[in-house]
Structure 1
C-alpha cells in the first residue's frame, strides 16, 4: 500500500518475538517533508522479544521504551535502555470505560476522540515521555501494539504534520500483523468482530481514523492540557529532523 513517499519505505521490522513492529520514519508531511527514520518505533509487547530480538532493537537505535500498559512482567530487556511506564488507560475510571464498553468503541479508532477528550493528562504524559527521552530511538508499545499504541502514535504523528492518509494506513497495518500473534497467544482473532462492529456503525477502520483526526489540532490540544511548549517543540524536532 503506497503512502505517496519519494523514497524507499519498509514499515515492518522483523524483530524475533514481536509481530506488529514498525519504524514510523518516511511518512509524508503536509509541507512535503517526511518523518525521521529511527526516531519512533511502534510495537506489540516487547517482553516477547528474544535475546536476538532485543539485539535487533538496540541495533536499530532504540534507547528508550515507553510502556503504555498498567502492568508488566520481567523480560530479557538489555541493560542501558531507559523504560518509562505510563498507565495510559486508567481503567479505574469507570465513567470513561463504561461509556467505551457500552457504545462498543474499544478495539478500534472509534474510541480515540472520546478518550483524548476524557484523558488529556494521560495523553500529555505519553507525549512528554517521548519528547524527553534521551538521544536515540523511542519504542512505544502496549500489549498488541494496536489500540493504546495507535492512539499515542496518531497523536504524535498528527502533531508533526503527517497526513491523515498516512496515519490511517499505518493504523491499518496492524490488522494483518496481529493475526499470527492471536494464534501465538491462544486468543480469538479479533479481526472479524471489529469489522462487524464497524459495519454496524456504518464506518471502516480508515474512516474511523479520519473521524478521529477531523478538526483535531494536536498542538493546541497538548498545550491546553498542560504540556510544556518546550516539549512540544522537542517532539517536532525529534520526529522530523533529517
Structure 2
C-alpha cells in the first residue's frame, strides 16, 4: 500500500499519514492504527481532534522545541503529550547557519542528510527517548509523532522506527518523500513572506523531502550496525525493542 492510500485528512493539519501497510524484509506488513506521523497537531480543529481520537490516538510525541509556537492551543484533553525536543535547545545562530548551508548546497538531499546524521551522532539518548515514548505507550491505542511540518524531526524518528522493525528501505524512503506534496499549506504562507530572493529560495528548499536524504541516513545507520544496535547503545532495552516490533508489525 502506497503513501497516498495511507494519508489521513484531519482538519487543520496537512501532512498526516498512518504508518501501516508497509512491507518488512520478512514479508509481513506494518499494522494500521499503531503509529501516525503528522505536522503540528496543535493546528487541528475540534473535528480534526475527533478524527484523531476515532483513529485510536491517545499518545502524542511532540518533537518540537519547548515553546516553539507561543500561544498555541493546548492538545486535546483526550490525549497524553510526551515532549522530546529532538534538536535540543533552540539556537538561532545554528538555525541561521543551516539555512546558509541549505541555500549554498548543490545537493539539497545531502544537506538535509548531513543535519539528520548530525542529530543521530550528537543526541542518541534524545533520539532513543523519542522512540521509547512510542514503545512504552499503551498497546491498545495509537501513537502520533509530530513536529512543525512533520518532515524533518518526524522524518528522522519515523525512519529509525521503521528501520528498527525491518521495513524495506524503499518503503521508508517513499514514506519520507511523500511529505513534499502535502506541505503547501504549511510552507506557502511562510515562503510568501520572504524578504528577498535568497530567503525565498531557502524557504522553498526547506519544504523539500528528497529521497536521497533518507537513503543516506539509512546507509549511515547500516554502517553503525543498524537501527536496533543504535537504539540499544542509546539506552533502549530489549523489552522496549520487542514492544516496538509487536506494536508495529502484524504476526
Q: Which residue of 2 aligns with 1:233?
A: 242
Matched residue SS, 2:29: coil
The count of aligned residue pairs is 229
1:195, distance to aligned residue in structure 2 (A): 7.8
Q: Which residue of 1 aligns with 2:178?
A: 173
| Structure 2 unmatched ranges of 5 or more | 103-107, 193-198
Q: How does 1:128-139 map to 2 (within 5 A)?
A: 128-135=132-139, 136-139=141-144
Q: Which runs of 4+ in 1 moved over 6 A?
A: 93-99, 194-197
How large is the Cα RMSD of the aligned pairs?
2.9
Q: Which residue of 1 aligns with 2:83?
A: 85
Q: How does 1:30-179 map to 2 (within 5 A)?
A: 30-72=25-67, 73-75=71-73, 77-91=75-89, 100=98, 103-104=101-102, 108-135=112-139, 136-179=141-184
CA distance in 2, matches of 1:13, 1:47: 16
> How high is the TM-score relative to the length of structure 1?
0.83
CA distance in 1, matches of 2:227, 2:250: 19
Deviations 1:147-193, CA, capped at 9 Å, x for gaps: 0000000110010011111111111111010012223xx20179964
> How high is the TM-score relative to the length of structure 2?
0.81
Deviations 1:92-128, CA, capped at 9 Å, x for gaps: 5799868756643798344222211111011011000
1:83, distance to aligned residue in structure 2 (A): 1.0
